[in-house]
Structure 1
């Protein structure tokens, strides 16, 4: 089921994973902590986490096990993390493009996927920060499993179940079309009127779909159907 390593504290599990890959020959190696001090999000964003309340988990998987594109691998990863949390909470869980996980309109998971070459092997480095027991946040759109469900989950049990679930789902990747369809079927605020900020200013729009290249297509109120890459547009919610 892959190597699983616990760290009492670290700056970033995505950074720490490299030193474990130097010694482990497994195609699946994981590092996790409940006290990450300098978590990183997508495109240089930070990911703050209260100690002993949340999970920072990074899984390294050998890219030779997968034939899909990087964008589709990102979609699939976000989808299976969503699936795990939807099963656990028995609640509707959505994916905010490109890969934040939303529960009852609050972000509870941030995902950072990087590609690294270590010991002449290429790996997908899948980092996920999951808010589990934290109750107060500096930003209004953040939440946790506790705030959104009222349930207190045991951290160690959560990690064990989460790790086993990801291992099982990463053994076999579905077809490219199934990945795209599943991602879009769980897309946050799809086919709903939303407010966006981009270079043209603030405008209403409707998310229609995400494509195989990793772009999102939004029908803007004034400018019609357009595609955007991450950081080119911001959904306000």
Structure 2
């Protein structure tokens, strides 16, 4: 059914809005003309505006901009990512749904996506404002054959995918703030949350949550974060097609993930550092029991934050809160 409908969309799209006869569609798809009509009605439910005229056939007058399982899959062009999609109009968090699906044996590459999250969260359980219909709130279920210690590298890979997508689609210049934030002009526009279920030497599954602010205006954000958060619309003045952006991200993610599984982390590291936020500058590092300053050198071969202390010691940081100094502030750091 899905492959037939995908082929139907392809035939109508390539007609350049010219009518395609029901007989021709029937012959190409090897189904009856009444089955063609039923497919057209399903397309209309997903937001396609179809014009059908007797003796002339069918044509697409308007393509949908809504998000659904069907609209994401039609024209997606991936080999394995997004072949199974779970879409909700509203949910608490896509991460929660993805964990449930993974535990119910959802296949590798399953996508969970929502128009709105009522309890969206980011790293360290911070609230994420998921405005209905104005952003991408999506989780990807992966079952990689790698050691659990390598899972954090998937966060860094995901960050490069989002940075590439934003750069390619909008001509903006994103930066990646370690480990999981995408910034534009020093304001957060996207974040990544990676969670894992694993045994000591084997990953059962990984859920990668992606949150991207796409079409929000400033007033969509709470006043206390309006100077810290932004969206692609705020930065460009352009309203973006969310479905198209999702498809671009998924296709790029599949390509990057396949390359990572084939070639390892070096290519990801190189790309990440090309987007790295304020590499070479002084940072303040906070853990539960300690706070100190160091120079941010980039990321290590295993994905850890790479720093140099004031005693010229090279240190790897695997977790903690990172702050960048304002000009002239670093002299007061501990």
Q: Give yes or no for the alignment of 1:215 onto 2:304.
A: yes
State the partner residue of 1:170.
257
Structure 1 segments unaligned to the other structure (5+ residues)? none
Deviation, 1:171, is 2.7
TM-score between the two structures when normalised by the length of structure 1: 0.84
After the TM superposition, which parts of structure 1 deviate over 6 Å for at least 4 consecutive aligned residues?
65-68
| More helix by percentage | 2
Larger RCO: Structure 1 or Structure 2 (Cα < 8 Å, ≥ 6 residues apart)? 1
Deviation, 1:197, is 5.9
Deviation, 1:93, is 1.5
State the partner residue of 1:31.
112
TM-score between the two structures when normalised by the length of structure 2: 0.61
Q: 1:112 to 1:200 in 2, by over 3 A?
A: closer
State the partner residue of 1:231.
320
Q: 1:200 to 1:30 in 2, by over 3 A?
A: closer
| More strand by percentage | 1
Deviates more, 1:44-53 or 1:122-131: 44-53
Alpha-carbon distance in structure 1 between the residues aligned to 2:147 and 2:283: 36
Alpha-carbon distance in structure 2 between the residues aligned to 1:19 and 1:152: 33
Q: 1:104 to 1:71 in 2, by over 3 A?
A: same
Q: 1:61 to 1:200 in 2, by over 3 A?
A: closer
Q: Tell me, what secondary structure is at the counterpart of 2:246? A: helix
Deviation, 1:200, is 4.2
Deviation, 1:8, is 0.3
Alpha-carbon distance in structure 1 between the residues aligned to 2:306 and 2:116: 37
Contact kept in structure 2, 1:68 and 1:176, CA below 8 Å: no
State the partner residue of 1:8.
89
Q: 1:79 to 1:68 in 2, by over 3 A?
A: farther
Deviates more, 1:3-12 or 1:160-169: 160-169
Alpha-carbon distance in structure 2 between the residues aligned to 1:29 and 1:93: 27
State the partner residue of 2:247.
160
Contact kept in structure 2, 1:32 and 1:56, CA below 8 Å: yes
The structure 1 residue matched to 2:206, chosen from 124, 146, 161, is 124
State the partner residue of 2:272.
183
Contact kept in structure 1, 2:99 and 2:207, CA below 8 Å: no
Alpha-carbon distance in structure 1 between the residues aligned to 2:313 and 2:179: 18
Counterparts in 2 of 1:9-158, with a 5 A limit? 9-21=90-102, 26-64=107-145, 69-116=150-197, 122-136=204-218, 137-138=221-222, 139=225, 140-158=227-245
- CA deviations 1:101-154 (Å, max 9, x no partner) are 11222111110011126xx97111010111011122331221111111222102
Contact kept in structure 1, 2:141 and 2:208, CA below 8 Å: yes
Alpha-carbon distance in structure 2 between the residues aligned to 1:79 and 1:38: 26
Query: CA RMSD, aligned part only?
Result: 2.9
Deviation, 1:225, is 4.9
- CA deviations 1:199-223 (Å, max 9, x no partner) are 447x6x5421111344323345x56
Contact kept in structure 2, 1:14 and 1:58, CA below 8 Å: yes
